[in-house]
Amino acid sequence: MDAVDLAAQLRPDFVLGVATSAAQIEGAAAEDGRTPSTWDAFAAVPGNIRDATSPTVAVDAYHHTADDLALMKDLGVNASRFSLSWTRLLPDGRGPVNPKGVTYYDRVIDGLLEAGIRPVVTLFHWDTPAPIEERGGWLRRDTADRFAEFAAAAGEAFGDRVADWITLNEPATVILDGYALGVHAPGRAKLFGAIGAIRNMLRGHGLAVDALRAVPVKGRIGITNVHTPVTPATDSKDDADAADLFDFIHNRLFADSVLFGKAAELPRGSKGIERLGLKFLSRLGRDAAVISRPLDFYGLNYYFPSRVAAGADPSGSTPDGETEAMKDVPFTLAKFPEYPTTGFDWPIAPHALGDTIDMMVNRYGDKLPRILITEGGASFPDVVGADGTVDDSDRIDYLAQHLAVAAARPEVDGYFIWTFLDNWEWAAGFTQRFGLVHVDLDTQARTPKKSFGWVRDLQRARRAARR
Ligand code: BGC
């Protein structure tokens, strides 16, 4: 879609931003006092990362702050979402605060403000300090207290300038991929035994909200989770029950706790599931009030819809890789042969973003605060052509279609493109490129892609319309 046509569909106050995360871009893993996170440890184990890479250098954003800020200013986005590395700010996971960590994020935040870009900070984008993980990580109750200390330290340091705070990024992914299936750090395949970690993570979220408000920080406060609309693969009752179970695990477990302040009711046909340990979930107990603190916005990440069939998948495939543990789960994630796919083989279905938003609005009603789409984007095998440009027209189509859907929903205040720079894609290493800016991994040279020019045109058209 033409950038000028799309510009006319975005409200003047609709926030168009880019999103990144510390472990995926910063590098400088052992510099200026930063200590290892669970992802440094996970990546050091052979076989865990598809291309055997690590976050040690990533795309070296730590040493490219000024260049990257200049590019972002040229892009003209309204906001930049980035995360704080817990172990750069609090080496070993607890005090005292590392002054060099504060200096780095001061530079980033002040640079954004000077460029007229809203700084949006994620406190936790998956990089639990290694010593905390070694003691049990999010399976331990007191990790939530450690996280609240980190939130307080971040709030003290940056609370006068940050526009929006996101406590956790995608607790669902951390629990499911990290603790239940083991395809992500910390690589534990505890299946339904991972469930206790949910309450700890969400308690950490609530305590962090309290800690930020106690500072008090100036910005708004929310949480981000990833949601997916779920449909059964066929009309059979078994597939319908399997889809309901997946929807429960992926969507309702997290959002019901945070927005309703009570654990989601066990899904239909849940007798067998109780045996799997899900019964435990019916209790948030004395943590319910903390977990459901009122929020200023709800961050929704959307990438693709899910189609679910009953029965275990003999190949053990998940959207984030194959794993033995998935072979023991009583459902299979089916394909969407009717849709085109991204480099990750994820189905491209923009209308399903609309379904996700509608699902949230209908289910949570007046318990749902304003929505920010805090991530959306696509990986493609982008290459720099002979003429030095990167033609990623597929990404432009993806973004245009998804932005149009998001902007048409009055409940949505903004959309953050995942991502600004090609980055380290967790277990997929550098095999997937999501950026508006291509990064040469040998030289760290940055080359804006065609999609970068498209976003810049879009933002220029929006500004011109306001004059
Ligand atoms: C995560 C990002 C990740 C993206 C694409 C999201 O689930 O928040 O960190 O890079 O998906 O895989």
Quickly list DSSP for 191-228.
Answer: GGGGTHHHHHHHHHHHHHHHHHHHTT-SSEEEEEEE--
- Dihedral (CA of 138, 144, 147, 149) sign: negative
Residue 326 has pLDDT above 90, yes or no: no
Residues forming a β-bridge with 332:
309
Is position 375 annotated as part of the catalytic site? yes
Question: How far is ligand 1, taken at its centre, from the CA of residue 275, in Å?
Answer: 32
- The alpha-carbon radius of gyration of the chain (Å, integer) is 21
Element (H, E) at 448: strand 446-448
**If you take atom 3 of ligand 1, which residue's CA is the nearest one?**
425
Q: What pLDDT score was predicted for residue 278?
A: 59
- What pLDDT, on a 0 to 100 scale, did the predictor assign at position 220? 98
Question: Contacts from 143-149 at CB under 8 Å and sequence distance 24+?
Answer: 143/200, 143/204, 144/200, 144/201, 144/203, 144/204, 144/207, 145/204, 145/207, 146/93, 146/94, 147/123, 147/204, 147/207, 147/208, 148/204, 148/207, 148/208, 148/210, 148/211, 149/90, 149/94, 149/95, 149/211
Helix (H, G, I), strand (E, B) or coil at 247: helix
**Which residue has the CA at smallest separation from atom 10 of ligand 1?**
425
- The percent of residues above 70 in pLDDT, for the chain, comes to 97
Catalytic residue among 26, 133, 375, 425: 375
In CATH, what number is assigned to the domain containing residue 16? 3.20.20.80
Atom from ligand 1 closest to the CA of residue 419: 10
The answer to whether residue 196 scores a pLDDT higher than 90 is no
- What range defines the domain where residue 309 resides? 3-466
Tell me the sheet residues that pair with 119: 80
Give the lowest-confidence range in 89-93, 258-262, 313-317, 349-353: 313-317
Give the residue-averaged pLDDT of 72-85: 98
Calculate what percentage of the chain has a pLDDT beyond 90. 87
Host H or E run for residue 246: helix 237-247
139 vs 152: CA distance, rounded Å = 22
Read off the pTM.
0.97
Please give the full DSSP string across 259-328, using - where no structure is assigned.
Answer: IISSPPPPPTT-HHHHHHTGGGGG--GGGHHHHT---SEEEEE----EEEEES--TT-EETTEE-GGGGG
Asked if residue 223 lies in contact with residue 370, where contact means CB atoms within 8 angstroms, the answer is no
Pocket test for ligand 1, best of 174, 254, 426, 434 (most atoms within 8 A of CB): 426
Indicate whether residue 21 lines ligand 1 (CB < 6 A).
Answer: yes
Q: Kindly report the number of other CB atoms within 10 A of residue 412's CB atom.
A: 22
**What is the per-residue pLDDT across 234-282, written as a single tens digit (0 to 9) for each?**
999 999 999 999 999 999 999 999 999 988 887 876 655 655 555 555 5
User: Rounded to whole angstroms, how far apart are CA atoms 455 and 252?
Assistant: 34
Counting the structural domains of the chain, the total is 1
Look up residue 428 and give its DSSP letter.
Answer: G
Average pLDDT of every residue of the chain: 95
Peptide bond into 350 cis (omega under 30): no
In 3D, which of 372, 379, 386 has the Cα closest to residue 436? Answer: 379
> Is 94 or 229 the better-scoring residue by pLDDT?
229
Cα separation, 126 vs 225, in Å, equals 12
Clarify whether 322 is annotated catalytic: no
Q: Which residues pair with 55 in a beta bridge?
A: none
Stretch 404-417: mean pLDDT, rounded? 98
Q: pLDDT category, 170, cuts 50, 70, 90?
A: very high
Which phi and psi angles does 5 have, rounded to 5°? -65, -45
Q: Is 226 in the pocket of ligand 1 (CB under 6 A)?
A: yes
> Torsion angle, CA of 368/373/374/375, rounded to 10 degrees?
140
Q: Are residues 424 and 430 in contact, defined by beta-carbon separation less than 8 angstroms?
A: yes
